Structure 1
Amino acid sequence: MIIKKIRMKYRALCTDIDGTFLDKNREISPRTLSAIKQLPADFPIILASSRMPSAMRHLQATMNRLDNPMICYNGGFVIHYGDNGLELLDTVKIPLETCDHITSLTAGSDIHTSLYFEDEWYAPQDDAWTQKEITSTKVQPVIKAWGAVHEDWHSRKAGAHKVMCMGPADQMDRLYQQLKQTKNEDLHLYRSKDTYLEIAPKSISKASALKQLLALKYDISLSEVIAFGDNYNDIELLKEVGYGVAVSNAREEVKAVADEITATNKEDGVAMMIEKHLLGD
């Protein structure tokens, strides 16, 4: 049960997934699940991630929150599954010509380039990088070369909600610098690890997506939200909401902007904060 004064202060929860919300097995821990299930059904639990919808939907099902909106691709694809099916709240894509530029830079290298549009994931081959993502997200890709993807997307007037490049650290460093020099005005270049580069449109963020989502669906302001994160793409979110919490395994830059630092994701840090700030006698 939520204490009345706390519920008035925080009317929604928004959390990053990987490295923040999930445990060492990439699942929602029993303690976290128990804490969430004590929150009222009309208290929004909003997942905000670089993941695709299918990689988030099973987590919503585990929480019995299939009716809550979600922020996919760091804010590039904001959706809600309601009584009438999928409701699109916002979509921002990387144009095809920019995808062409990215894939041209990775051609002939050891870099794996996966491309995402809505709930579609295209991988160039079934390699170790593909298998790692399957294990992490529980989603299967379509194996298809960029040329075939380009032709399909051109006919559908589609683009990439996310491009994810994975490979040797030295090659990733070089790709990052090349894109920073040529496309820095257009793209977010997010290094989640030294072997990863996640690419998204510059105009979106988790914070901007959350603000729009709350206004459209709930009439809730950012100041009434408690949010959790661990990495660079969570900084703006934690700064903008009413109360931003970083897990203790977060980047130092994330901790620096947080209102509070909790335990690591492997130690149920999010659950601890739900119990502290949202649940009571």
Structure 2
Amino acid sequence: MGGLRHGGGGQDPARRRHREGRGLDRPLTPAPCRLLALDIDGTLLASDKRISGRTLAAIARARAAGVRVVLVTGRRYPAARRVAAIRLGRSRGADPVVHCGFQGEGRLVVASLAADNEMLAGYVDRSGRDRVRVGDLERELPADSIQVMFADRLGRMVDLYPRMVETLGAMARVERTFYPALDMGFVDVLHPEVSKGEALSFLQQRWSVATAETIAIGDNWNDKEMLVRAGRGLVMGNADPALHALGLEVLPTNDQDGVAVAIEKYVL
């Protein structure tokens, strides 16, 4: 009986609960990252369109640790409303180009471009052998067209974006990618169910990865759904300042190894 009063089994219940509960109020250890989703331009790539040595090394270490690293880029889908998008864009003075190829061939179909749209002309020229020129884009639109894209100076794209959203409504997804520092912007018309967020959810289900085990990094508006669906969404320091208003953690810029900083801090 004495042992019941004075031994471990007779310890005061309140004291025992205090000891057993010690540390329960401390922050829980975050779930390990198993899936890292990266945007490309403005995120993975620096301003010179290269991946820094530090970032390459960080990604290599993450992959060696078993983390799945995926590139999630806003691309291309067959939309029945693509002709309507072409007409609407042209009515606002915007030049369209159409990306084609269900199997990722990446053909770029284009008709005439405005002489002053040097940015889009340069984009088309860089397509090289993948570029196909036609006389009438609407009449000669390929059956495997999967994205209508407009690109120009930022002001024109800022004006075009809300008009596209209002006119096309639920018939299509309209994404914007704006680069204020470069005075340039893109407006993409896609199928309404296509987004980077949907792509991320698909990969999570395919590989049985929990939301808490997912990190996503991006720098523009077409990254928004992916960022908010990840367990940890991180915004590049060079992103559109308005994107910082999402309240997500802001990394250093793409020229300051922002992706490497994130991997070193949250993955390794």
Q: Which bracket does the TM-score occupy, shorter chain normalised?
A: 0.7 to 0.9
SS of the counterpart of 1:19? Answer: helix
The yes-or-no answer on 1:233 pairing with 2:222 is yes
**Number of aligned pairs?**
226
In structure 2, what residue type is equivalent to 1:105?
A: L
The yes-or-no answer on 1:9 pairing with 2:32 is yes
Mark the CA change 1:102 to 1:274 in structure 2 (over 3 Å): closer, same or farther. same
Identify the match of residue 197 of structure 1 among 183, 187, 194.
187
Contact 1:111-1:168 at 8 Å conserved across structures: no
Q: What are structure 2's unaligned runs of at least 5 residues?
A: 1-28, 179-183
C-alpha separation between the residues in 2 aligned to 1:150 and 1:222? 44
Pick which of 102-111 and 20-29 moved more. 102-111
Deviation (angstroms), 1:213: 2.2
Contact 2:124-2:131 at 8 Å conserved across structures: no
Question: Aligned Cα RMSD in Å?
Answer: 2.9
Q: What are structure 1's unaligned runs of at least 5 residues?
A: 51-72, 77-91
Deviation (angstroms), 1:117: 2.2
Q: For residue 210 of structure 1, what is the aligned residue in structure 2?
A: 200
Identify the match of residue 271 of structure 1 among 246, 254, 260.
260
Q: For residue 57 of structure 2, what is the aligned residue in structure 1?
A: 34
Mark the CA change 1:225 to 1:152 in structure 2 (over 3 Å): closer, same or farther. same
Deviation (angstroms), 1:132: 3.1
In structure 2, what residue type is equivalent to 1:121?
A: L
C-alpha separation between the residues in 2 aligned to 1:146 and 1:215? 44
Mark the CA change 1:120 to 1:244 in structure 2 (over 3 Å): closer, same or farther. same
Identity of aligned residues (%): 25
Identify the match of residue 85 of structure 2 among 99, 102, 108.
102
4+ residue runs of structure 1 moved beyond 6 angstroms? none
After TM superposition, list the pairs within 5 Å mapping 1:1-281 onto structure 2: 9-41=32-64, 42-50=66-74, 73=75, 92-95=77-80, 98-107=81-90, 110-118=93-101, 119-125=106-112, 128-133=118-123, 139-140=127-128, 141-145=130-134, 147=136, 151=140, 153-154=142-143, 158-160=144-146, 162-167=147-152, 172=157, 175-193=160-178, 195-216=185-206, 218-279=207-268
Deviations 1:36-89 (A, max 9, x none): 112234421111112xxxxxxxxxxxxxxxxxxxxxx1xx5xxxxxxxxxxxxx
In structure 1, what residue type is equivalent to 2:253?
A: T
Deviations 1:2-28 (A, max 9, x none): xxx87x611010011111111110111
C-alpha separation between the residues in 2 aligned to 1:257 and 1:174? 22
TM-score by length of 2: 0.72
Deviation (angstroms), 1:32: 0.5
Q: For residue 7 of structure 2, what is the aligned residue in structure 1?
A: none
Mark the CA change 1:33 to 1:202 in structure 2 (over 3 Å): closer, same or farther. same
TM-score by length of 1: 0.69
C-alpha separation between the residues in 1 aligned to 2:135 and 2:169? 22
